[in-house]
Amino acid sequence: MRPVDLVYRLYENRLLASLDRSRFPRHVGIILDGHRRYARSEGLASYTDSYRAGMRRFEEFIGWTEELDIPAITGWLLSKENLERPRDELEPYFDVLTELFDRLPATCRRHGMKVRFIGSLDLLPDRVVEAAKRAAEVCADGNRHLTIAVGYGGRQEIVDACRDLVARLAGEGVPAEQMADRIDAEGIAAHLYSADLGDVDLVIRTSGESRLSGFLLWQSAYAEFVFVDVYWPAFRRVDFLRALRDYTRRERRFGR
C-alpha cells in the first residue's frame, strides 16, 4: 500500500468513527456527473475509458452503502436530455451500460440488493433494454433497493404519475368533472416510478455542478443536498463519508 493510500485509509477510519450512524440517510440519490470532463482532465484516449471507470466506481459505491447499512440507492446514470447528444458519444456509453447491467446480478447478489430500472427505457437501444431486463429479473429479491435511472427525467415522471392517476380514476368510473377533486399529492406520489421507496433523504451530485437538473424532483422536496467538486470516476469513499458527515450535522425540518 502506498503511503498516500495508508493516510487516506487512516483518515477514512477516523472519519467513520466520528459519524452518528443513527442519523444516516435511508435513501441516497446519486448523480454520476463528470465522465467526459474527467476523460479530458486525465488525458484519456476516449470517453469510453472514463465511462468504464465511472461504472466500476458505481459498483464500489454500492458496496460502500452496504457497509454503512444504507438500505436504498437511486443512481442517475443517464438523463432523457442526454439522449440528444451526438451518436458517437452515446454509442460507447450504451456499450458500457450494457456491460454494467450484465455484471449487476453478481454485484447485487453480493450486496443483497433488489434492482429496478426507471425512465423512458423505450428510447434506449435494444441491447441496453434487454440487459436491464435480464438484471431486473435475476435481481428481483433482496433486502436493499437499487434503483437505476436511465433515460430518466423528473418532469416526465410527474407527468406519467398524473396520467396513471387519471387513468385509474377513469377506470373507477369517476366522472371527468369530479376528477380534479380526487387528484392530490398522496395520489400522485402513489403513481411515481418508485412509489414504495418514498422520498430521498440525501442527494449527492459530483463534478461541481450545483443543480438537480430534474433528478427526483418530487421525491427530493425535503432532501438534503451535497455538491462535490470531484468528477464521478474520481469519487472516493472518503468523499462519500464527508457527504454523510455533512448530512448528519444538519437539522432536517421538512419545510416546518
> What average pLDDT values come out for the chain (256 residues) when binned by 10 residues?
70 89 96 96 94 97 96 97 91 97 94 96 97 96 96 97 96 94 95 94 96 96 97 96 96 80
Closest to 215 in 3D by CA, of 100, 105, 66, 78: 78
What percent helix, strand, coil does the chain show, rounded to 5? 55, 15, 30
Distance between alpha carbon 90 and the CA centroid of its chain, in Å? 19
Alpha-carbon distance of 172 to 179, in angstroms, equals 11
> What pLDDT sits at residue 4?
61
> What pLDDT sits at residue 254?
81
- Domain edges within the chain: 23-248
Alpha-carbon distance of 95 to 72, in angstroms, equals 26
Given 5, 13, 20, 33, which residue is catalytic? Answer: 33
82 is catalytic: yes
Q: CA-CA distances (angstroms) from residue 132 to 100, 102, 103, 119?
A: 9, 8, 10, 12
Provide the 10 A C-beta neighbour count for residue 75: 17
> What pLDDT sits at residue 252?
84
Query: Quick one: fold of 23-248?
Result: Undecaprenyl pyrophosphate synthetase (3.40.1180)
> What pLDDT sits at residue 2?
67
The three-point CA angle 158-159-162 to 5° equals: 85
In the chain, the N- to C-terminal Cα span, in Å, equals: 49
Given 5, 69, 82, 143, which residue is catalytic? Answer: 82
Single pTM value for the model: 0.94
